[in-house]
Chains A and B, each alone.
Chain A
């Protein structure tokens, strides 16, 4: 039986992690079908049909799907489930909110946040904030799996010609009403997919001081991250949080500034290819995962860092 991938999108475009989830789905079984549920999402459905790993697209449209409410989505997916061995989507807030609802309807024990497909029923997943890796085998006949997007490469995004089939919309769940979404718009790369991430912690001491981080990020074409302490203190909004309960990032370069390196933060960034830590406390745990550690006062180091960067002419934008 085939694998059903749940596409994440904004009714116009596919969200980038759909491509990573598609890769994971194709490692479970080569027959990958993708379902896209939304309102006026034809363009995103077309993009989905162009992913070479996707063999068929099922598009389900209705006004009550406009805001991706899990209570509306789950029954529509459950209706499709009988034709599939696996249901797969990203373990980001979209998938985390939705998949357990589907799994419970199907009486399936979900496998969350896998980082590797070992076989169609066996997966590797981090537990305890990534301090241990568990190999798990699911004995359920229907398998609901969420994947950690940064652990899988995005699939090719063009060249495919999957058919787009219309699926049947379900009823509206009337006890949940969407009110609003406040998305933080930014010209910077997305935190989850950026090549470079510059993050600030409690050591930044104020929201104003984050402009030092912003300058460096702008210079490097980087996304801005933050520790939970910095978000809790109100220095920066929650969508920047990196860690166990925030986002997991795996950039080529992660620069941690004024971040002590609590277990919960390390869980979100320690797979980064190169880690830099700037902290005035030489004993800070962040140094234990840093490739390059600089023990210094960040308020002196950051302006110097900008100066040195300005001297280089080869920085990729």
Chain B
């Protein structure tokens, strides 16, 4: 079985986001970038399945500018066998990314595609579901547990009401939740070894698809700030404030 894992380069989750003064976006220059956190879970799960002898090959793919390749290199360092970097410039919408990955799926013929459930930059939560629709494959989103069976996966999904379990036939798409597993760190020897693993570079123009954005970002602004609150000295004061000042209890 072959697993394709999609990874995205995003601003590191610990970075305090700053909005550009001209309202054109957020500051990304000299800002720490990392792999989108749930994409790390997607890679980890694929590696675990391979270690359990249920997969034979893991291909990591990213779509984006030159530096996006770092995320593929990291995936190779934790256990992916081969990388693909589809090179693009400028704004990419989830619909465009899903069309790009669809092309790669047609070429690579994986049995499974894993990715994070949501990217922490645009918070769209769309790509996996869109890819699944384009391929007419089953989808299991927000996965917190995956059991590999003969020709299917049994996936536990985190939903608002609790948990849901579905069985999806292979080939299939899974979008991973942060609770699916604990991503490992790459060891130094494995980071060195990853440098020798192949990364195939593909220009998006060679795929013959239209990735022109359909949604214009007119303005990015800071959210309204909360006004500073106060510290109370003790519990009695807190309860009095809540009752008499805020009038919420």
Contacts and interface: CB of A to CB of B under 8 A. Distances in A.
A28 B139 CA distance: 30
A113 interface: yes
A277 to B, nearest CB: 8
B165 interface: yes
Contacts of A91: 125
Contacts of A294: 231-232, 234-235, 238
A244 interface: yes
A173 interface: yes
Interface string A273-309: 1111000001000011111111110000100110111
Interface residues of B, number: 83
B138 A244 contact: no
B129 A70 contact: yes
15 contacts: A74-B133, A91-B125, A93-B159, A98-B129, A109-B93, A112-B123, A136-B215, A175-B172, A179-B166, A290-B229, A291-B229, A291-B246, A304-B235, A305-B238, A312-B243
Interface in A3-43: none
A138 B214 contact: yes
B162 A184 contact: yes
Contacts of A182: 162-165
Contacts of A252: 248
Given A93-B158, A308-B235, A132 B123 contact: no
B183 interface: no
Contacts of B88: none
B208 to A, nearest CB: 15
Interface string A81-113: 000000000011110111111111101111111
Given A100-B130, A292-B232, A131 B238 contact: no
Interface centre among A129, A134, A263 (most CB of B within 10 A): A134
Interface stretch (A120-128, A152-160, A201-209): A120-128
Contacts of A315: 249
B69 interface: no
Contact of B125 (A70, A112, A134): A112
Interface stretch (B10-18, B103-111, B191-199): B10-18
B162 A239 contact: yes
B245 to A, nearest CB: 9
Interface string A46-75: 000000000000000000000001110010
**3 A-B pairs closest in CB distance:** A100-B129, A104-B133, A104-B130
A225 interface: no
B19 interface: yes
Contacts of B158: 93, 238-239
Nearest to A10: B161
Nearest to B175: A97
B89 interface: no
Interface string B214-233: 11111111110010111110
Nearest to A293: B231
Contact of B138 (A104, A137, A175, A291): A175
A73 to B, nearest CB: 11
B154 interface: yes
Judged by DSSP, the binding face of B is mixed
B90 to A, nearest CB: 14
Contacts of B131: 104
A128 B222 contact: no
Contacts of B128: 100
A183 interface: yes
A96 B232 contact: no
Interface stretch (B42-50, B77-85, B114-122): B114-122
Nearest to B231: A293
Contact of A109 (B95, B133, B141): B95
B215 A137 contact: yes
Interface of A: 69-71, 74, 91-94, 96-105, 107-113, 122, 126-140, 173-184, 192, 196, 220, 228, 231-232, 237-239, 244-245, 247, 252-253, 263-264, 270, 273-276, 282, 287-296, 301, 304-305, 307-309, 312, 314-316
A307 B238 CA distance: 12
Interface string B156-174: 0111111111111100100
B242 interface: yes
B130 A101 contact: yes
Nearest to A176: B138
B120 to A, nearest CB: 7
B132 A132 contact: no
Given A101-B133, A138-B215, A196 B13 contact: no
Contacts of A309: 239, 249
B235 A296 contact: yes
A128 B218 contact: no
Nearest to A305: B235
B179 A238 contact: yes
Nearest to B126: A100
B214 A312 contact: no
Contact of A100 (B94, B123, B217, B229): B94
B215 A100 contact: no
Contacts of A71: 132, 138-139
Nearest to A295: B231
B142 A104 contact: no
